Amino acid sequence: MASKSSGGRVDLPSFFADLVRCETRLYNALNDRLRERHGIVTSQFEFLCFLRDHPGSRVADLAAEFAIGIGATSKGIDRLEKQTWVIRRTNPSDRRSSLLDLTDDGLRLVGAAEATFNETLTELTAGTLDGPSGLAAVQGLSALRSVLERDRIGLPTG
């Protein structure tokens, strides 16, 4: 069901439902395509992209970026490391943590998967984000995300 508005007011519960259902459906479709073509899922792709763009990051850096717990992030990195796409090296500034880097195989994988990701996302959103209403939706979500991140809302506890 689509979000409703009346008298210039947004029906927030319907907006929330649409937002969550769209995210879930897009994420699942991307999971299916990435798994089929590259043997990874969307969360793994996102981790690989982050590490490509931020070499030498820590698990805590990924957890903060994706607003997920340290334990879940560490397990995700363990899986990528087991596949030899990521390596951990000792953090010279803090021996209790590791710095993460992509291997050459990880770099090749993220490059190929990125093409699939972009192609699939373009295909799934074709015709719906074009024009002024699509731009307004994108800008509105970006502004909402900025406020939530600025105010540190929705971070995992513990």
In a domain, 9, yes or no: no
Report the alpha-carbon distance of residue 40 to residue 34 in Å, rounded.
Answer: 6
In a domain, 156, yes or no: no
Domain count, the chain: 1
In a domain, 5, yes or no: no
How do the residues of the chain divide into helix, strand and coil, expressed in percent and rounded to 5? 65, 10, 25
In a domain, 4, yes or no: no
Does the pLDDT of residue 119 top 90, yes or no? yes
In a domain, 2, yes or no: no
Question: What is the DSSP-derived secondary structure letter of residue 12?
Answer: H
The predicted pLDDT at position 76 comes to 97
In a domain, 31, yes or no: yes
- pTM value is 0.87
Report the alpha-carbon distance of residue 85 to residue 48 in Å, rounded.
Answer: 8
In a domain, 7, yes or no: no
Q: What is the mean pLDDT of the chain?
A: 92
Q: For residue 33, which of 118, 136, 100 has the smallest C-alpha distance?
A: 118
Is 54 within 8 Å of 61 (Cβ atoms)?
yes
Helix (H, G, I), strand (E, B) or coil at 76: helix
pLDDT one-digit tens code per residue, 8-53: 788 999 999 999 999 999 999 999 999 999 999 999 999 999 999 9
CATH number assigned to the domain comprising residue 103:
1.10.10.10
Tokens of 38: 């590259």
The predicted pLDDT at position 2 comes to 59
Report the alpha-carbon distance of residue 72 to residue 64 in Å, rounded.
Answer: 12
Domain that holds residue 135: 15-150
In a domain, 122, yes or no: yes
